[in-house]
Structure 1
Amino acid sequence: MERIEQLKKFLEANPTDSFLKHALALEYIKLGDDETARKVFEGLLADEPGYVGSYYHLGKLFERIGDNDKAIEWYQNGMQVAKEKGEQHAFGELRGAWEELTF
């Protein structure tokens, strides 16, 4: 919980820092708080849809809670963004996760 509090303090000083938001969501996942992590990831991607790494983790979160349709949706969204940004590695990871659910 200490790391979460520290990240929140950093976010107070830098409320638009997507890296900090991403790190905060990952900390919530470590604690098993998928609902809060989901909200943080979704807020991050609403504010900065180009933050490609969060699509993968949000998709995996939806897989974990059994909502494969939502996971597929986030993977597809992430693949589109990764393709637009030319981020081939991220595209490959997202596509791999997507294929596991769709084939």
Structure 2
Amino acid sequence: MNSDRISLLKKFISEEPTNPFNKYALAMEYYETQLEESLSLLRSLLADHPDYLPTYFKAAHLLWENENWDEADEVFQTGIKLAEQQEDQKALQELKAAYLNFEFDRD
């Protein structure tokens, strides 16, 4: 986690509050060391920017890691539907593969 990068991203978020990338980038900075902060940002992105596809993979994984099974399942399924709608084959394949692993782990 880089504190200078975090400060810069927070500044970008305040300057461009409607740009989902800045909040996503900040969530990724927190992803390894501050899981609750990362998850909070990812949930905010899902609520405020439901068409921002990159959020779904990371949010679902973090929920899965924390054994939030039902919420992770919902995020995976919504992300898969969104990837299909956006015709993003790479994201679709990644989400489907991760979801399959999630289902195996869940059982």
TM-score w.r.t. the length of structure 1 is: 0.91
Aligned to 1:39: 40
Moved over 4 A (4+): none
Aligned to 1:73: 74
- The 1-side partners of 2:51 and 2:35 are apart by 22
- The 2-side partners of 1:76 and 1:97 are apart by 11
Q: CA deviation at 1:89?
A: 0.8
Question: Is 2:33 the partner of 1:28?
Answer: no
Q: CA deviation at 1:45?
A: 1.7
Aligned to 2:16: 14
- The 2-side partners of 1:49 and 1:96 are apart by 21
Secondary structure at the residue paired with 1:36?
Answer: helix
Q: Can you list the C-alpha shifts for 1:27-82, whole angstroms capped at 9, x where unaligned?
A: 1113x211111111111121111111110000111122122332222111100111
* Aligned-residue RMSD, C-alpha: 1.2
Which ranges in structure 1 are unaligned for 5 or more consecutive residues? none
- The 2-side partners of 1:46 and 1:24 are apart by 16
Q: CA deviation at 1:14?
A: 0.6
Which ranges in structure 2 are unaligned for 5 or more consecutive residues? none
**Percentage of pairs with the same residue:** 35
Name the amino acid aligned to 1:16: T
Name the amino acid aligned to 2:103: T
- The 2-side partners of 1:20 and 1:4 are apart by 10
Aligned to 2:62: 61
TM-score w.r.t. the length of structure 2 is: 0.88
